[in-house]
């Protein structure tokens, strides 16, 4: 296992460990103090996990002057973040203003609460709404561009600020290592939390790695381990209704952070609300397109309809892709098809990648035909059913009838759906993916993990997807990357301050 404190940042997908090794315990290595025998290395802060939340935490810790040990279980940093659509939900930004989008922190807060069915923790949501603009400016200041804004699930105005998530991670990683205060290790799984003291005196003082090595954190340990979409056992336990959903998300996302905190009596929240995401292409991308093809596509928010094998709609497509995901699993074969015309294809944009229809088309995932009958044949769905569905849908758009599923907007009351009429026609077979779990450790607005009685577990923080409470019953697009950044910065600042206040801890 190696540290690579001063090494050049590897991009997501490269091996961080092998080429960037620095022997631990060198005299000039200010980040570690390794001595003979059993004494552990001592840091101000230990960050567990290297997705968006871990990156923001590690860098913000270094900015606050903390010496940070940063662990990643897999050979590559990135987790789900490196695979994701790259959309951040921010409100009141210059990009929105330049496009005439009327948004505000208050509207964002209301949309988040509405998306979560008011089951969300209002304190967490309010903190996000208050701090998100600052996080946006911070990311921009680090060189991460946000020049596009689009509409997505449960947003009452276009609010998804698209960026390339891999490039964003690379920039954050480089900055963190360049600080000279961050020691990053890949292939380094945290296995247990270390504590000192009993009862009210107990505090988390570090982590033990899978090989038995111990790292001490004077200011605290931040769990940024992502969700549990890759743990069959935890999916069976907490989300058995999603057994048929396709596991997606980072390969290391097996719920380790949940278990480690659980062992200390941490409370869990929102577990019953875990939902899949509609829009995972059924087919594999053509060879050579694996990295460019979107992993999730949501053309319904730009005007596509969603039908089953019989060519019939079964849901209001303006609803959250989580809700559509549930309905998709009820369809024959758990498959549904997004069908659209050239007007929607013309709105394709590279970012966020969920709207990159051209990349999906080039990868062979989207089929094209000059007629609806031809498209039905290409997709293997009932041609008469599709023709009848499109006729009825277009009648509703023209005001000749009301929409049979109550669709009146592109998404959540915003935008006007167009007719499906301009050839050529396009379609893609999709299923529901378990991209993210969005439930987990209960935290307060300072990102401190709470135990089952509501008291903070001293010295333990949770940020990003491993933390529950923020989303409630469902999810507003773009809010996961955003909350990882906002709460990662909060946790880092608090832990750094604790280490400063109590240097001998
Ligand atoms: C296809 C897809 C599209 C998505 N699109 C969007 C989007 O556009 N906008 C949005 O907001 N969200 C999106 N999401 C969800 C979002 O990507 C995730 O919720 C978010 O990236 C989680 O960030 P994170 O840092 O909490 O976790 P991750 O990015 O998953 O990082 C967690 C890291 O912790 C590591 N880890 C786990 N256990 C340990 C351990 N014991 N020790 C050390 N390391 C450990 C993992 O290996 C992983 O690298 C999407 C998800 C997917 C899969």
pLDDT digits over 238-289, tens only?
999 999 999 999 999 999 999 999 999 999 999 999 999 999 999 999 999 9
Q: What percent of the chain has pLDDT over 90?
A: 86
How many CB atoms within 10 Å of residue 288?
A: 10
pLDDT of 387 strictly over 50: yes
Rounded-to-integer distance, Cα 363 and Cα 270, Å: 36
416 Cα–ligand 1 center, Å: 33
Rounded-to-integer distance, Cα 387 and Cα 375, Å: 10
Contacts of 453 (CB under 8 A, 6+ apart): none
Rounded-to-integer distance, Cα 58 and Cα 72, Å: 12
Q: Which of 51, 251, 253, 293 to mutate to test the pocket of ligand 1 (most atoms within 8 A of CB)?
A: 51
Grade residue 291 by pLDDT with cuts at 50, 70 and 90. confident
Grade residue 13 by pLDDT with cuts at 50, 70 and 90. very low
Q: How much is the pLDDT for 1?
A: 38
pLDDT of 7 strictly over 70: no
One DSSP character per residue, 145-167 reads: ---EEE--TT-SS--EEE--HHH
Grade residue 39 by pLDDT with cuts at 50, 70 and 90. low
Q: How much is the pLDDT for 213?
A: 96
Contacts of 465 (CB under 8 A, 6+ apart): 51, 53, 80, 226, 227, 253, 436, 437, 438, 440, 480, 484
Rounded-to-integer distance, Cα 409 and Cα 416, Å: 5
Ligand 1 atom at minimal distance to the Cα of residue 466: 26
Rounded-to-integer distance, Cα 109 and Cα 454, Å: 24
Grade residue 502 by pLDDT with cuts at 50, 70 and 90. confident
Grade residue 34 by pLDDT with cuts at 50, 70 and 90. very low
Contacts of 173 (CB under 8 A, 6+ apart): 9, 10, 50, 55, 77, 184
Packing angle between helix 52-63 and helix 165-178, nearest 10 degrees?
A: 30
pLDDT digits over 126-137, tens only?
999 999 999 999
185 Cα–ligand 1 center, Å: 17
- How big is the chain by its Cα radius of gyration, in Å? 23
Q: How much is the pLDDT for 504?
A: 61
Ligand 1 atom at minimal distance to the Cα of residue 77: 49
Decide which of 93 and 438 is more confident: 93
Decide which of 82 and 18 is more confident: 82
Q: How much is the pLDDT for 234?
A: 97
pLDDT of 329 strictly over 70: yes
Of the candidates 22, 29, 89, 81, the residue with the CA atom closest to the CA atom of residue 56: 81
Rounded-to-integer distance, Cα 434 and Cα 335, Å: 14
475 Cα–ligand 1 center, Å: 15
How many Cα atoms sit within 13 Å of 266 on the Cβ side? Answer: 31
pLDDT of 5 strictly over 80: no
Q: Is 222's C-beta closer than 6 angstroms to any atom of ligand 1?
A: no
Rounded-to-integer distance, Cα 105 and Cα 41, Å: 42
Pairing verdict, β 440-441 and 268-269: antiparallel
Cβ-contact 487, 494 below 8 angstroms: no
Grade residue 33 by pLDDT with cuts at 50, 70 and 90. very low
Decide which of 331 and 19 is more confident: 331
Q: How much is the pLDDT for 15?
A: 35
Region 483-498: what's the mean pLDDT? 98
Q: Is 72's C-beta closer than 6 angstroms to any atom of ligand 1?
A: yes
Mean pLDDT of the chain: 91
Region 104-122: what's the mean pLDDT? 97
Of the candidates 225, 221, 260, 224, the residue with the CA atom closest to the CA atom of residue 505: 221
pLDDT digits over 444-472, tens only?
999 999 999 999 999 999 999 999 999 99
Among 43-47, 153-157, 208-212, 355-359, which stretch is predicted with the lowest mean pLDDT?
A: 153-157
Q: Is 79's C-beta closer than 6 angstroms to any atom of ligand 1?
A: yes
Specify the residue with its C-alpha closest to ligand 1, atom 49: 79
Homologous superfamily of domain range 1-6+42-84+163-272+438-505: FAD/NAD(P)-binding domain (3.50.50.60)
383 Cα–ligand 1 center, Å: 39
Q: Is 127's C-beta closer than 6 angstroms to any atom of ligand 1?
A: no
Topology alike, domains 1-6+42-84+163-272+438-505 and 277-434: no
pLDDT of 2 strictly over 90: no
Among 31-45, 83-97, 163-177, 250-264, which stretch is predicted with the lowest mean pLDDT?
A: 31-45
Decide which of 34 and 320 is more confident: 320
Strands, E, within 276-374: which ranges? 277-281, 305-307, 336-340, 367-369
250 Cα–ligand 1 center, Å: 6
Q: How much is the pLDDT for 153?
A: 82
Q: How much is the pLDDT for 412?
A: 84
The architecture (CATH level 2) of 277-434 comes to: Alpha-Beta Complex (3.90)
Residue found under tokens 């299923």: 431
Cβ-contact 464, 483 below 8 angstroms: yes
Domain ranges of the chain: 1-6+42-84+163-272+438-505, 277-434
Ligand 1 atom at minimal distance to the Cα of residue 74: 47
Rounded-to-integer distance, Cα 383 and Cα 258, Å: 47
Cβ-contact 372, 340 below 8 angstroms: no
Rounded-to-integer distance, Cα 223 and Cα 71, Å: 10
170 Cα–ligand 1 center, Å: 15
Q: How much is the pLDDT for 3?
A: 38
Prior bond to 424 cis, omega within 30? Answer: yes
pLDDT of 14 strictly over 80: no
Rounded-to-integer distance, Cα 391 and Cα 499, Å: 66
Rounded-to-integer distance, Cα 128 and Cα 125, Å: 5
Specify the residue with its C-alpha closest to ligand 1, atom 4: 84
Tokens standing for residue 493: 């600042």
77 Cα–ligand 1 center, Å: 10
């Amino acid at each position: 296992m190696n540290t690579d404190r001063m090494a050049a940042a590897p991009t997501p997908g490269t091996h961080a460990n092998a080429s960037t090794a620095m022997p631990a315990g060198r005299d000039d290595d200010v980040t570690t103090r390794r001595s003979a025998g059993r004494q552990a290395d001592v840091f101000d802060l230990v960050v567990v996990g290297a997705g968006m939340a871990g990156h923001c935490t590690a860098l913000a810790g270094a900015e606050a002057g903390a010496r940070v040990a940063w662990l990643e279980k897999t050979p590559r940093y990135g987790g789900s973040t490196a695979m994701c659509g790259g959309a951040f939900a921010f409100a009141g930004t210059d990009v929105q203003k330049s496009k005439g989008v009327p948004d505000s922190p208050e509207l964002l807060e209301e949309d988040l609460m509405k998306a979560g069915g008011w089951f969300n923790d209002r304190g967490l949501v309010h903190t996000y709404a208050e701090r998100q603009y600052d996080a946006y400016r911070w990311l921009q200041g680090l060189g991460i561009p946000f020049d596009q804004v689009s509409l997505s699930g449960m947003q009452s105005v276009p609010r998804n600020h698209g960026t390339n998530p891999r490039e964003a991670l690379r920039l954050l990683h480089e900055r963190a290592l360049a600080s000279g205060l961050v020691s990053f290790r890949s292939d380094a799984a945290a296995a247990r939390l270390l504590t000192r003291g009993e009862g009210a005196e107990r505090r988390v003082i570090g982590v033990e790695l899978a090989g038995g090595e111990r790292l001490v954190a004077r200011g605290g340990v931040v769990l940024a381990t992502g969700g549990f979409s890759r743990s069959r056992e935890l999916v069976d336990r907490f989300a058995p209704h999603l057994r048929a959903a396709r596991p997606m998300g980072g390969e290391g996302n097996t719920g380790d952070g949940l278990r480690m905190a659980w062992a200390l009596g941490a409370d869990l929240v929102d577990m019953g609300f875990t939902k899949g995401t509609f829009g995972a292409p059924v087919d594999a991308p053509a060879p050579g397109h694996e990295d460019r093809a979107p992993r999730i596509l949501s053309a319904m928010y730009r005007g596509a309809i969603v039908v089953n094998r019989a060519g019939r709609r079964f849901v209001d497509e303006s609803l959250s892709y989580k809700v559509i995901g549930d309905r998709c699993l009820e369809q024959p074969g758990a498959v549904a098809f997004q069908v659209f015309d050239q007007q929607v294809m013309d709105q394709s944009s590279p970012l966020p990648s969920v709207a990159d229809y051209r990349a999906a088309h080039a990868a062979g995932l989207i089929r094209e035909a000059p007629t609806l009958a031809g498209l039905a044949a290409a997709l293997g769905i009932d041609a008469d059913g599709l023709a009848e569905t499109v006729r009825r849908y277009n009648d509703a758009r023209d005001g000749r009838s009301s929409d049979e599923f109550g669709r009146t907007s592109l998404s959540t009351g915003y935008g006007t759906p167009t007719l499906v009429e301009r050839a050529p026609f396009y379609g893609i077979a999709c299923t529901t993916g378990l991209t993210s779990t969005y439930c987990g450790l209960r935290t307060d607005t300072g990102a401190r993990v709470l135990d089952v009685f509501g008291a903070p577990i001293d010295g333990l923080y949770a940020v990003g997807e491993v933390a529950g409470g923020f989303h409630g019953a469902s999810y507003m697009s773009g809010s996961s990357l955003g909350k990882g950044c906002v709460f990662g910065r909060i946790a880092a600042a608090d832990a750094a301050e604790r280490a400063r206040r109590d240097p001998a801890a």
